């Protein structure tokens, strides 16, 4: 059975900011959570958290990063978290699905950026292969959501 993983940092659930009182999520996340709506001024977007999804705690985020680093190391890849900030992590109830919004500070030209995104994609595929899975990936494409351009690719997994 194919499991489709959509590597889009921000889903199609972007909505306008509401009038509710803002509650600070975490100073490291640089965002505000009000009810089921998260707004991030740094990135400039607002997302409605879908029913059935919960905001992960800082401890769960730390575990997520550690697990990812260990998987990368097992695939023979190094991980450089310098300049990376996890803004928001969501976990789906009763499932192993998760969603993370991450920013990375980079100063590169367009060609370097395209190579970087390709390297990230290949690294992810290597991690899946090291776990005995057979990944298939789409080409990298650009999608614009609410005026913000994202580099996106899809990965489908088949058991090995």
pLDDT at 29 over 70: no
Instruction: Please give the pLDDT value at position 137.
Output: 94
Sign of CA dihedral 11, 84, 61, 16: negative
- Is 56 within 8 Å of 64 (Cβ atoms)? yes
- Is 67 within 8 Å of 125 (Cβ atoms)? no
Instruction: Please give the pLDDT value at position 12.
Output: 22
pLDDT at 24 over 80: no
pLDDT at 43 over 50: yes
Instruction: Please give the pLDDT value at position 140.
Output: 94
pLDDT at 53 over 80: yes
- Top pLDDT among 75 and 18 is at 75
d(CA 9, CA 31): 15
Q: What is the mean pLDDT of residues 101-116?
A: 79
Terminal-residue alpha carbon distance, the chain: 11
Distances (CA, A) of 18 to 15, 46, 62: 9, 9, 30
pLDDT at 19 over 50: no
Instruction: Please give the pLDDT value at position 107.
Output: 65
Instruction: Please give the pLDDT value at position 61.
Output: 85
Q: What pLDDT band is residue 26 in, cutting at 50, 70 and 90?
A: very low
Where does 1-147 have alpha helices with state H?
Answer: 58-74, 110-130
Q: Which two tokens stand for residue 96?
A: 């192993």
What residues contact 158, with CB distance under 8 A and at least 6 apart?
1, 2, 133, 134, 135, 136
- Is 2 within 8 Å of 157 (Cβ atoms)? yes
- Top pLDDT among 38 and 85 is at 38
What residues contact 113, with CB distance under 8 A and at least 6 apart?
106, 151
């Amino acid at each position: 059975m194919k499991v489709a993983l959509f590597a889009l940092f921000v889903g199609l659930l972007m909505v306008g900011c509401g009038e509710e009182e803002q509650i600070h999520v975490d100073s490291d996340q640089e965002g505000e959570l009000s009810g089921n709506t998260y707004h991030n001024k740094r990135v400039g977007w607002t997302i409605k958290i879908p029913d059935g999804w919960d905001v992960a705690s800082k401890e769960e985020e730390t575990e997520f990063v550690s697990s990812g680093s260990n998987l990368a190391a097992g695939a023979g890849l190094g991980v450089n978290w310098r300049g990376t900030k996890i803004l928001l992590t969501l976990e789906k109830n009763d499932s192993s699905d998760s969603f993370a919004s991450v920013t990375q500070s980079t100063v590169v030209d367009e060609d370097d950026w395209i190579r970087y995104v390709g390297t990230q994609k290949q690294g992810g595929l290597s991690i899946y292969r090291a776990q005995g899975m057979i990944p298939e990936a789409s080409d990298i494409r650009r999608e614009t959501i609410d005026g913000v351009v994202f580099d996106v690719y899809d990965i489908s997994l088949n058991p090995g």
